[in-house]
């Protein structure tokens, strides 16, 4: 009676259980693969929309930090140079001008003010200004307009440019995501 199993009998329970477990595992794997593909499509579609603004704001922050370090060494506090952009902290000249070094000396003294200096932007500010040229053009108009009203160009630049850069890079990322999704639908 404990002899060999005949072909007419059902398979042992361990085989049946193994078959059921294998089918369940395959079902779970298919569900996992579908969920993973859905997440990849979602992340693939949204990636540039969020990555570009973060990269743009990081470039702005690094350039601002370098500009603050450079401007610390200057004696005149009226002008702030953000990379190669000169910003006037007193556009209507409301503050009392500083005394010239030759005001109390003899007539042969020559005084000059280094209001205009030439700064060549580094590769990072150049890349930022080139890639976000529309944002910088709008920012220039905003800074100049608020400067005519007497508002410091430094503060208006530091408030408006991050917002404009975020908006510009978000728009560029949205266009890239849209182009990528259209390309994926066609192919």
Neighbour tally for 161: CB within 10 Å: 24
pLDDT digits (tens, 9 = 90+) for 57-89: 999 999 999 999 988 887 777 889 999 999 998
- Note the pTM of the prediction, 2 decimals: 0.69
Query: What is d(CA 140, CA 28) in angstroms, rounded to the nearest whole number?
Result: 57
- What was the pLDDT predicted at 13? 55
């Amino acid at each position: 009676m404990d002899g060999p199993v005949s072909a007419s009998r059902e398979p042992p329970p361990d085989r049946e259980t193994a078959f059921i477990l294998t089918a369940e595992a395959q079902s779970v794997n298919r569900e996992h693969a579908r969920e993973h593909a859905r997440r990849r499509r979602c992340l693939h579609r949204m990636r540039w929309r969020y990555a570009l603004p973060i990269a743009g704001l990081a470039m702005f922050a690094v350039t601002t930090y370098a500009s603050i370090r450079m401007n610390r060494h200057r004696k005149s506090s009226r002008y702030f140079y953000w990379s190669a952009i000169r910003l006037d902290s007193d556009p209507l000249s409301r503050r009392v001008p500083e005394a010239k070094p030759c005001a109390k000396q003899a007539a042969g003294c020559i005084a000059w003010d280094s209001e205009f200096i030439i700064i060549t932007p580094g590769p990072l500010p150049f890349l930022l200004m080139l890639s976000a040229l529309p944002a910088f053009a709008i920012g220039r108009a905003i800074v100049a307009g608020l400067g005519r009203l007497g508002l410091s160009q430094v503060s208006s630049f530091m408030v408006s440019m991050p917002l404009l850069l975020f908006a510009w890079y978000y728009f560029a990322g949205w266009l890239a995501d849209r182009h990528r999704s259209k390309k994926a639908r066609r192919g």
